[in-house]
Amino acid sequence: APPAAPEVRANLVGLLVQACDATAGLIGAAAHHLLPPPGRLAGGDSPGAAGTAELLAEVLRLDPPVRATRRVTATEVRLGGRDLPAGSPVLLRFDAANRDPQVFAEPAAFRPGRPGAGLLTFGVGERGCPGDRHALALATGVLDVLRERCQRTPAPLCHEPHPTLTVPKTLEVSVR
């Protein structure tokens, strides 16, 4: 096969880096919600009592690792009461869209297993995330092990500074 154009190579490298950071962010946020705090066992009415898939869906809705993405309008479009010409840059905020009170009842509440519309966190259609199933499978495996063996420590969850990604610097846990 002929070598890939520089733009294709750059996009592939960017995809790999973002996939690692975004999956780490998802695992960190989900573990923070899932693992019981010190002195409390998992179970009961804690978020840890929900299934891992339901927990991940709610973390992706309320605390997505990728908070926003940029797109360019393909045609003229009216958005937020303003006309934008084709080629206009647009910032899509997943963290805001997934908290829309017209779509999600009590949008600020963390409720794994909630009914509702599909999430926009991975995007949709041909511009959707190509690694969504891989990220969810990896996060599920890690969280299932953490659920069995760990609990949070009192240390606060701190994030790397980034304009659109939420990636924890550390998440301290103790082994039970």
Structural domains in the chain (count): 1
Residue 46 lies in a domain: yes
- pTM of the model as a whole: 0.79
d(CA 79, CA 76): 10
Residue 24 lies in a domain: yes
Residue 99 lies in a domain: yes
Q: How confident is the model at residue 174 (pLDDT cuts 50, 70, 90)?
A: confident
Residue 109 lies in a domain: yes
Residues 6+ apart with CB under 8 A from 34: 42, 47, 48, 52, 55, 143, 146, 147
Residue 1 lies in a domain: no
The enclosing domain of 48 has a CATH number of 1.10.630.10
Digit-coded pLDDT (tens) for 153-171:
888 888 888 888 888 888 8
The domain containing residue 110 runs over which residues? 6-175
C-alpha distances in angstroms, 138 versus 80, 84, 111, 149? 37, 39, 22, 17
Residue 143 lies in a domain: yes
For residue 20, the surrounding DSSP H or E stretch is helix 6-34
Alpha helices in 63-131 (DSSP H): 94-97
For residue 147, the surrounding DSSP H or E stretch is helix 132-149
Digit-coded pLDDT (tens) for 56-88:
999 999 989 988 888 899 999 999 899 999 999
Predicted local distance difference test score (pLDDT) of residue 47: 55
Closest CA to 104 of 93, 115, 112, 88: 115
d(CA 98, CA 156): 25
